[in-house]
Amino acid sequence: MASNYDNNFSKGTDLAVIVLYMLMACIGILAIFMVEYNPNTDWATSFISGKTSYSKQFFFLIFCSFVAIFILLVDSKVFTALANILFVSGLLLMLATFLIGKEINGSKSWIPIAGGFNLQPAELCKIFTALALAKFISRPETDFTKLQSHLIAGAMIALPAILSIGQHELGLALVYSAFIFAMYREGLPPFILIILLSFAILVIATLLIDPTLLAIILSVIAGLFLMYLGKRLKRNKQLIVIIIGVWLVCVGTVRFAVPYIFNNVLECYQTTRIYSMVGKEYDCGLNQKAAASLAESGKKSRKPDDYNVKQSKIAIGSGGFWGRGFLKGTQTRGKYVPEQNTDFIFTSIGEAFGFVGTFTFLGLYLFFLFRLIRIAERQRSTFSRVYAYSVVGIFFFHIAVNISMTIGLFPVVGIPLPLISYGGSSLLTFTALVFILLRLDADRQMVLR
Amino acid sequence: MSVYNQNRGGIIQIIIGTIFFLIVAQLVSLQVVSNKYKLAADNNAIFRKIIYPDRGIIYDRKKRALLENTISYDLVVIPNEAKGVDTAALCNILRIDKAEYNKRIVEAIIKNTRVKAGVFEPFLTPEIYAQLNENLYRFPGFSLSERSIRSYPYNTAAHVLGYVAEVDVNFLKKHESEGYEMGDYAGMTGLEKNYETVLMGQRGVKRFLRDNKGKIQGPYEKGEFDTVAIAGKNLYTSVDVQVQQLAEKLLQNKIGSAVAINPKTGGVIAMASSPGYNPNLLTGSKRRKTIGRLLLDTARPIYNRAIKGQYPPGSTFKPLGALIALDEGLITPNFGYNCFGSYGACGDPRKCEHHNAGHAANLQLALAYSCNSYFLQVFRMAIDNPKYKSAKGGYVKWKEYMNAFGFGRKLGVDLPSENKANIPDTAKYSKDFGNPKYWNSCYMLTLGIGQDRMTATPLQLANSMAFIANDGYYYTPHFVDSIESETQEEAAQLAPFRKKQKVTTIPKEYFDVIKEGMHDVTVYGTAAFIKVPGHEYCAKTGTAQNPHGKNHSLFVCFAPKDNPKIAVAVIVENAGYGSTWAGPIGGLLMEQYLNDTLTTESQLKADNLAQVDLMPQAIKNWYVQNNKSAYLTPIEYNNDELSDVWDMEMLAEGVVKTKTKDTAPPAPLPNTDKTNKDSLLPNTDKKKKLNP
């Protein structure tokens, strides 16, 4: 039987993805090593002592390898069977953090487990949500062309996202928007994507253009539409209502919704980050939360600035074309970039290996994503395909947002770079995501329900 | 149902590809196009520390250091670390108040940021240094940093040596490519300026890596880009410190100048300008106190009269006038003039000091008695020389001679801003007298006795004596004989000083006649009572009229007569007869140089001369009128202040020794010097520390 088992283990498993996974994880450890490297201590002894982040990450990787093997040995039917239960228990764990959570870096989203390690349920919930979404869409009774199905799927995604916001993990909450890929692939009408995109453009325009001017521009556009459609409007009164409705929503967003969110919902530092991305300064005096904390503590909060992004850009930019060389980055050695071994790990690669390094690195990621899409497309069962696209979405969202924020294309939100950033929870989550997919892919001839 | 959505996989790939393309585009702009991030990273992380080499030392002809480097201490502060400072105690030690303390901290932050050390109080006095050193643990963030400053063990030759000072914006603009930075010190005057490149050495740069808190992590790239500081090179000059000190001492309480040159080399033995100042007063903390006074004083103690003062040479010109006439064949040594006490050939009679018949019966006698009539006649003959057809032609030829003798042009001494003084050119006279066709020699008659518009610097006068002493050539006067381990470039800089300047073809026998005449001056002539024990010498006195008051007293000479080793020019402004004041000074300088000591009698004379106050009344009045009566006392060196410098070394206890270079240890002074030198050094008790 054992030989048969071995056969099953290796048969159908996509080797390219495993190689890429190991390669990325090793690059990650190397990048963390560059950040933590101290020429005054012997790296070998500090590696063995296990006190440094890179040695911890190394042990995480070994642990994750065992988890990966375990996942590959599990029957793929288990994932469909447990999908809903895991999803619910994941949500319960997230709720539990509000009671027994431990606060790290200002977010109460961690549950302490044995050995000084902490678990972040929101991370695991990404896997569970992916499984549950796949389960829901692949149900024979689900017709994903119907609005009702879209709403249910949307609710399944929104639930953990809202809980994450409650834990002050804006970045993690945003990740849930990555499921839109999977939903789109399964028949979400494209106009929803277009509307979302238009809305995003509108929000950015609000930042860039004076609100009154923007309202006038929107009114002019609406007016032009009315003139253009002139004759048809007489025949179709509904069109007038739609145009006026859209105009009202847009102006309302510009004049009320966006300022309200920036001033009342988001923290001062978050709004500042968003403003700084478009090169503007935000006056924290407008922020209600900042005002509240000011009234509470009586101390004026230190003005947050875009120090992180500035230093991060300097680090990446100073790499130049060929890079400064392994362990020779001055920004890294001087610890100028905060959070460099987690959210800003990309800077250490950019500084040491330059454009050549970052380009190659992005190439690896792109190859990895396209490989996953290829795997997704060759699934016979909807469950596997939805799950695969969820994985693609999550990976892509993390990569795009993380790298964009280090090079000043996106506001700083705390999400890690998959397989590279230091952190056990993060590495474990991505390992599980990838290897569950590989397990499902190995059984791609089967139709899973 | 999934089949009809298959193209959506492609759309997702396109979306992903687009976003990646945007990211790559931004990376291109960050890493490939722009290089400002590289600079920003270097600014962030690389800390350049400049290592200042010791400046070169300047030695006299016997390898005694005219100046040295000593250590002074600054109190520096790193504002970020200055927390929990016992401000009250610190203010108490520095004698400042809390407001001043805060002000200085803010200044330090503005100048050097919070994390870099900035100067809080420069040039600590020894007492404050000692107090601070004991209490430093109470002032976190503060530290004592040493810096090298100049000190002048012989308190002498301020004008010649010049001073170093912090560079200003103008200096930086002028020397843009030479690597100076704000806060650097550079030679501003004198030899310090002229030989700046040699003395400064080569600054080293050490690069350190620092972290985001400004803490030094270690050398950048293992010091691969560091450069080593190379110490400045020493200068070996021809100055004799004892002659120099004597010259300054003799000129005390007078306005004037003295220059002594070694005719065999052109090396300047001494160059004094009075009033002067003690060079130690322009170093360290004393500079701030002194510089204002030096700049405001109407007697201009900073002004080097030896190369900038323009004086009518008066009778000291006569030997040269005679040389011109001899060379042109207008007179022979036997030429005589019948003078009865005045010269009336040009109308208005010109006075001569002598009346007895035959005092100008030949050139030798005329020189000895300095007969005005004789030399006026000789000058007219030169101007009206039939060879040149007109007075203008004669004058042009005469001026040619004067330029050749080194007058009316810069000699090229190795000090900055030498003045060329004045031998007027024909244009000047044309302006006054109209068409040169109608000139005659009477127009500029008194040029013949070194008056009219002719002026010369003391250096030019001394050089003319070297010219006569050498029978017709001279070496460009200079201070620096050689530079330590001279490079080709430096040799080229010194090359003009090593070249014999033979600018005329006047035969030796004419010089012999002139020398005999000048020797007679010292035997029975105007300087008969001035003797140099053991040596025959030649001299010429001068008493020059000038528009500023009493006559200037001038004296030029060289000795010994047969093998000249020193040529001297002395000027005492508004003092009267040349033989009364300038003469004895010249005599004593020659005696000191030739005998290396003064006889007891001469010593007494020197002491008396030093006491004589010949400051013009106008200057004294100015002091009184401007409430600067304190300036009446000349800037004397206060022994206690000099002791500061040495006490500082004692405090450093062996860690810091007087920074004399190993390569050229000062030669031990011969014992014969000792008595003499003790009497010259105002601070004899310090001498032991000088040459341990």
* d(CA B2, nearest CA chain A) in Å: 7
Q: Are residues B208 and B273 in the same domain?
A: no
Strands B268-274 and B118-121: unpaired
Proportion of chain B above pLDDT 90, given as a percent: 30
Q: What is the pLDDT of residues B257-275, one digit of tens each?
A: 999 999 999 999 999 998 8
Q: Which residue of B11, B21, B23, B225 to mutate against A (max A Cβ within 10 Å)?
A: B23
- What distance in Å separates the CA atoms of residue A267 and residue A413, rounded to the nearest whole number? 12
Q: Are residues B228 and B322 in the same domain?
A: no
Q: Are residues A328 and A247 in the same domain?
A: no
In this structure, is residue A449 part of a structural domain? no
- Say yes or no: A392 contacts chain B, CB-CB below 8 A: yes
Contact B37 A316 (CB under 8 A): yes
Contact B44 A330 (CB under 8 A): yes
Contact A185 B28 (CB under 8 A): no
Q: Which amino acid is at B24?
A: V
In this structure, is residue B232 part of a structural domain? yes
- Backbone phi and psi for residue B47, each to the nearest 5 degrees, phi listed first: -105, 115
Q: Are residues B497 and B592 in the same domain?
A: yes
Per-residue confidence band for B688, with pLDDT thresholds at 50, 70 and 90: very low
Residue of A nearest to B212 (CA): A336
Q: Which of residues 131-150 of A touch B (CB under 8 A)?
A: 144
- Say yes or no: A37 contacts chain B, CB-CB below 8 A: no
- Say yes or no: A193 contacts chain B, CB-CB below 8 A: no
- What distance in Å separates the CA atoms of residue B448 and residue A422, rounded to the nearest whole number? 97
Q: With a cut of 80, say whether residue B571 has pLDDT above it.
A: yes
In this structure, is residue A119 part of a structural domain? no
Q: What is the CATH number of the domain that holds B600?
A: 3.40.710.10
Q: What is the pLDDT of residues B46-67, one digit of tens each?
A: 877 777 788 999 999 999 999 9
Identify the bridge partners of residue B475 per DSSP, sorted by sequence position: B500
| H runs (alpha helix) in B626-670 | 639-652
Q: Are residues A7 and A76 in the same domain?
A: yes
CB B221 within 8 A of CB B87: no
User: So what's the ipTM on this one?
Assistant: 0.90
Domain count, chain B: 3
Domain boundary among A297, A328, A356: A297
Domain boundary among B594, B615, B636: B615
Name every chain B residue with its beta carbon within 8 A of the beta carbon of A316. 27, 30-31, 37
3-state secondary structure of B74: strand
Domain boundary among B615, B641, B668: B615
Domain boundary among A262, A297, A332: A297
In this structure, is residue A177 part of a structural domain? no
- Say yes or no: A350 contacts chain B, CB-CB below 8 A: yes
In this structure, is residue B513 part of a structural domain? yes
Q: Are residues B273 and B330 in the same domain?
A: yes
- What distance in Å separates the CA atoms of residue B465 and residue B268, rounded to the nearest whole number? 13
In this structure, is residue B502 part of a structural domain? yes
- Give me the torsion for CA of A90, A91, A96, A101, rounded to 10°: 70
pTM listed for this prediction: 0.64
Contact B16 A350 (CB under 8 A): no
Q: Which of A316, A335, A351 sits opposite B212 (nearest CB)?
A: A335
Q: Which amino acid is at B225?
A: F
Range of the domain at B684: 623-690
In this structure, is residue B127 part of a structural domain? no
Name every chain A residue with its beta carbon within 8 A of the beta carbon of B34. 317
Residue of A nearest to B4 (CA): A187
Name every chain A residue with its beta carbon within 8 A of the beta carbon of B8. 184-185
Nearest alpha-carbon partner for B94 in B222, B285, B277: B285
Contact B40 A318 (CB under 8 A): yes
Lay out the sheet containing A107-112: strands in order across.
A102-104, A107-112, A118-119
Q: Are residues A352 and A437 in the same domain?
A: yes
Q: Are residues B504 and B551 in the same domain?
A: yes
- What distance in Å separates the CA atoms of residue A4 and residue A10, rounded to the nearest whole number? 10
Domain boundary among B583, B598, B615: B615
Contact A331 B44 (CB under 8 A): yes
- Say yes or no: A326 contacts chain B, CB-CB below 8 A: no
Q: Are residues A279 and A319 in the same domain?
A: no
* d(CA A70, nearest CA chain B) in Å: 30
Q: Which of B12, B16, B31 sits opposite A355 (nearest CB)?
A: B31
Q: Which residue of A330, A378, A401, A403 to mutate against B (max B Cβ within 10 Å)?
A: A330
In this structure, is residue A337 part of a structural domain? yes
Nearest alpha-carbon partner for B575 in B607, B543, B547: B543
Name every chain B residue with its beta carbon within 8 A of the beta carbon of A40. 218
Q: Are residues B254 and B214 in the same domain?
A: no
Contact B23 A403 (CB under 8 A): yes
- Backbone phi and psi for residue B572, each to the nearest 5 degrees, phi listed first: -120, 120
Q: Which amino acid is at B185?
A: Y
Tokens coding B255? 């306005």
Q: Which residue of A318, A322, A367 to mutate against B (max B Cβ within 10 Å)?
A: A318
In this structure, is residue B643 part of a structural domain? yes
Full pLDDT tens readout for chain A, 449 residues: 334 444 455 577 889 999 999 999 999 999 999 998 887 777 788 788 777 889 999 999 999 999 999 999 998 889 999 999 999 999 999 998 888 877 776 667 788 877 667 788 888 899 999 999 999 999 888 888 888 898 999 999 999 999 988 887 888 888 998 999 899 888 888 888 888 888 888 877 777 777 788 888 888 888 888 888 777 777 777 878 888 888 888 888 887 888 888 887 777 777 777 777 666 777 777 777 767 766 665 544 444 557 888 889 999 999 999 998 898 888 888 888 888 888 999 999 999 999 999 999 999 999 999 999 999 999 989 999 999 999 999 999 999 999 999 998 888 888 899 999 998 889 999 999 999 999 999 988 877 66
Domain count, chain A: 2
Domain boundary among A255, A278, A297: A297
Q: What is the CATH number of the domain that holds B191?
A: 3.90.1310.10
Q: Are residues A321 and A413 in the same domain?
A: yes
Q: Which of A331, A370, A407 sits opposite B13 (nearest CB)?
A: A370
Per-residue confidence band for B481, with pLDDT thresholds at 50, 70 and 90: very high
In this structure, is residue B281 part of a structural domain? yes
Q: Are residues B437 and B573 in the same domain?
A: yes
- What distance in Å separates the CA atoms of residue A255 and residue A275, rounded to the nearest whole number? 17
Residue A3, classified by CB atoms within 10 Å of its CB into exposed (0-12), middle (13-18) or buried (19+), is exposed
In this structure, is residue B14 part of a structural domain? no
Q: Which of A315, A335, A369 sits opposite B16 (nearest CB)?
A: A369
Q: Which of A311, A334, A366 sits opposite B209 (nearest CB)?
A: A334
In this structure, is residue A366 part of a structural domain? yes
Q: Are residues B193 and B334 in the same domain?
A: no
Contact A335 B221 (CB under 8 A): no
Q: Are residues B530 and B420 in the same domain?
A: yes
- What distance in Å separates the CA atoms of residue B141 and residue A172, rounded to the nearest whole number? 44
Tokens coding B304? 């080097």
Q: Are residues A26 and A64 in the same domain?
A: yes
User: Rounded mean pLDDT of B180-206?
Assistant: 85
Q: Are residues B630 and B659 in the same domain?
A: yes
- Say yes or no: A335 contacts chain B, CB-CB below 8 A: yes
* Helix H or strand E encompassing B567: strand B566-572
In this structure, is residue B2 part of a structural domain? no
Strands B566-572 and B549-559: antiparallel
Q: Are residues B386 and B399 in the same domain?
A: yes
Q: Are residues A283 and A358 in the same domain?
A: no
CB B151 within 8 A of CB B67: yes
- Give me the torsion for CA of B666, B669, B674, B680, rounded to 10°: -40
Q: Which residue of A35, A137, A184, A366 to mutate against B (max B Cβ within 10 Å)?
A: A366
- Say yes or no: A244 contacts chain B, CB-CB below 8 A: no
Residue of A nearest to B8 (CA): A185
Q: Are residues A283 and A329 in the same domain?
A: no
Q: Are residues A289 and A310 in the same domain?
A: no
Place of tokens 């002594």: B260
Give the model's pLDDT for residue B582: 92
Strands B58-59 and B235-237: parallel
Residue of B nearest to A362 (CA): B20
CB B545 within 8 A of CB B454: no
Q: What is the pLDDT of residues B485-495, one digit of tens each?
A: 888 888 888 99
CB B263 within 8 A of CB B508: no
* d(CA B212, nearest CA chain A) in Å: 5
- Say yes or no: A212 contacts chain B, CB-CB below 8 A: no
- What distance in Å separates the CA atoms of residue A151 and residue A157, rounded to the nearest whole number? 10
Q: Are residues A362 and A330 in the same domain?
A: yes
- Say yes or no: A293 contacts chain B, CB-CB below 8 A: no
- Say yes or no: A158 contacts chain B, CB-CB below 8 A: no
Range of the domain at A432: 2-81+133-141+306-442
Name every chain B residue with its beta carbon within 8 A of the beta carbon of A396. 16, 19
Give the model's pLDDT for residue B282: 85
Residues of chain B in Cβ contact (below 8 Å) with chain A: 1-2, 5-6, 8-9, 11-13, 16-17, 19-20, 22-24, 26-28, 30-32, 34-38, 40-42, 44-46, 209-212, 217-218, 220-221
- Give me the torsion for CA of B573, B558, B499, B310, rounded to 10°: 10
Q: Are residues A242 and A336 in the same domain?
A: no
Q: Are residues A311 and A292 in the same domain?
A: no
Q: Are residues B252 and B305 in the same domain?
A: yes
Contact A186 B19 (CB under 8 A): no
Contact A317 B36 (CB under 8 A): yes
Contact A181 B27 (CB under 8 A): no
Name every chain B residue with its beta carbon within 8 A of the beta carbon of A311. 44
* d(CA B52, nearest CA chain A) in Å: 26
User: Rounded mean pLDDT of B325-343?
Assistant: 86
